[in-house]
Chains A and B, each alone.
Chain A
């Protein structure tokens, strides 16, 4: 991503036009998100007038967030999403590291066969319905295991991690082996600590995937209390009405908070809640994810 200056004639008018175009593109990217933020922060007395052209939240309030977070579906959804993401990450990183470590041993007997067996799954897949039947037959429907284990190892990320592990000095591993360290010990005490950039890269890949995943959760989980935030948000977007979302019972009970909220304010607040964790990690995303994308693109 290093920019380079060229010793060509600089046309300042051209640069100005280019800058204007780029700023316009950036605005198009940000404005739709910003608009949701504005709507989610608009006070109840002004919410009816708030629309796509509202730039400043009138009657600024955090009431919508307080109200939305008092809906059981929403706070459970947030908790479920965090749980699935972290448990998933633990499984992803452990299994992918184990696979990547062993498969970087080029002289392992059968290594190419194992590698092919893994790469084949990038091209061939059983599909949605056989996947569903597998979960059913394993008794994993409505269990978090089905969601956590879905794409537990992404072959593409495994190959990227192998590139990082390849760079670990052989001498480091050899001396640990001479000191009587086991292979598992070498992986977890030497290879992983030395390849933290690689671990960070695949963690972000997997983390973003888990946080944004909704479809498998929606079909595998039958108990609504287990839904992650994305499924809850989807339900709200598809249902297009408040009563069914907040729940008829809750509607009466929580008359002061959730029921008083405007539909579009609820929706906007949920959208922002689903984006915030991504924004919190965005500096790391820019640092590692982008590089990882390029590493994955390098042909072998």
Chain B
């Protein structure tokens, strides 16, 4: 590029650069300095003097630690359970909502089911702890009507992960259906009219028209979810965990917090966080590639 014209353009836009400066300073300080700061995963933190390089020492400690292995498996298990049991539900809900003919009912239902998404996980944990209390929580009272003995869900190692799946459904089924509802609304009505003329049933229409038409949306949402797979829902786990179930619910992010900030093992905690980040990146890139191959469309 012509240097003089470049300089002229910069001079012309000097006020714009001035406006952008605080924004760039923010990203530099609050985002790029911590990215550089993550190098302590490869260092030994010294309280006096400079940190010393430790190579992959902390990663070796991490990978040979049975605790981290358990944490890793918990993360994968909880995330996989959510993908398997939660992911299809908003799609199903969108199909059902779309079938409602009364627009008043549909709008009313939509505005109610979005609500839990706007509550903090602290609030949701508080609500669920009391909902699932044994024996006087609402769910145990309900089960009691069917003669089922009360269960202490929050402190039961065999139930707590299902509590995560259940509270995720409660919080997100409505909100996550929004994108699918929008995608269904974009489908041309003529397709359905033609199918009706041909005598296709509602179920056939759903499977042969609606599903293929919203498949790109489903895949996009799925890939984005894969990017968050290693998160497994920190805020949810952090607020719902207790000593009775910790071995079954401790995930990488809660481990980073406990080991890193709680016990002051900064390098080990950062190493665990970095490891999680790298897996997340690999997951999102490979699902994107897979999606391009299968559907000819990626996320970006």
Q: Using Cβ atoms and an 8 Å threshold, which residues of chain B touch A225?
A: none
Decide yes or no whether B50 CB sits under 8 A from chain A.
no
1/0 per residue A93-123: CB within 8 Å of B?
0010011011101011100001001100101
CA distance A39 to B23 in the complex (A): 46
1/0 per residue A268-300: CB within 8 Å of B?
101100110010001001100010011001010
CB <8 Å contact, B22 and A126: no
Q: Which residue of A is nearest B109, CB measured?
A: A22
**Least Cβ distance of A248 to chain B in Å?**
23
CB <8 Å contact, A21 and B35: no
CB <8 Å contact, A101 and B126: no
1/0 per residue A115-143: CB within 8 Å of B?
00110010111111111111000100000
Decide yes or no whether A149 CB sits under 8 A from chain B.
yes
Decide yes or no whether A180 CB sits under 8 A from chain B.
no
A130-B20 CB under 8 A given contacts A1-B110, A15-B100, A25-B113: no
CA distance A21 to B10 in the complex (A): 61
Q: Using Cβ atoms and an 8 Å threshold, which residues of chain A touch B182?
A: 1, 294, 297
Contact of B115 among A126, A149, A282 (CB under 8 A): A282
CB <8 Å contact, B118 and A286: no
1/0 per residue A8-32: CB within 8 Å of B?
1010001100110111011011111
CA distance A117 to B32 in the complex (A): 9
Q: Using Cβ atoms and an 8 Å threshold, which residues of chain A touch B54?
A: none
Q: Tally A-B pairs: CB < 8 A.
A: 268
Q: Which residue of A is nearest B202, CB measured?
A: A8
A26-B137 CB under 8 A given contacts A32-B131, A230-B120: no
Decide yes or no whether B47 CB sits under 8 A from chain A.
no
Decide yes or no whether A35 CB sits under 8 A from chain B.
yes
A285-B277 CB under 8 A given contacts A130-B40, A293-B178: no
Size band of the B side of the interface?
35 or more
Q: Using Cβ atoms and an 8 Å threshold, which residues of chain A touch B119?
A: 212, 274-275, 278
Contact of B100 among A3, A187, A215, A293 (CB under 8 A): A3
Q: Using Cβ atoms and an 8 Å threshold, which residues of chain A touch B106?
A: 3
A274-B122 CB under 8 A given contacts A18-B100, A108-B13, A290-B178: yes
CB <8 Å contact, A127 and B16: no
CA distance A14 to B99 in the complex (A): 9
Q: Using Cβ atoms and an 8 Å threshold, which residues of chain B touch A213?
A: 120
CA distance A143 to B94 in the complex (A): 44
CA distance A297 to B182 in the complex (A): 10
Majority secondary structure of chain B interface residues (helix, strand, loop or mixed): helix
1/0 per residue B140-169: CB within 8 Å of A?
111000000000000000000000000000
**Least Cβ distance of B127 to chain A in Å?**
5
CB <8 Å contact, B261 and A105: no
Interface hits, A254-271 → B, CB 8 Å:
264, 267-268, 270-271
Q: Which residue of B is nearest A232, CB measured?
A: B122
Q: Using Cβ atoms and an 8 Å threshold, which residues of chain A touch B136?
A: 51-53
1/0 per residue A160-190: CB within 8 Å of B?
0000000000000000000000111001000
Interface residues of B (CB under 8 A from A): 6, 9-10, 13, 15-20, 22-24, 26-27, 29-38, 40, 93, 96-103, 105-116, 118-123, 125-131, 133, 136-142, 170, 174-175, 178-179, 181-182, 185, 189, 192-193, 196, 202, 220, 235, 238-239, 253, 256-257, 260-261, 266, 269-270, 273-274, 277, 281
Supply 6 A–B pairs (Cβ within 8 Å), ascending by A: A3-B107, A8-B202, A126-B38, A230-B122, A237-B125, A285-B114
* 3 A-B pairs closest in CB distance: A126-B34, A52-B138, A130-B37
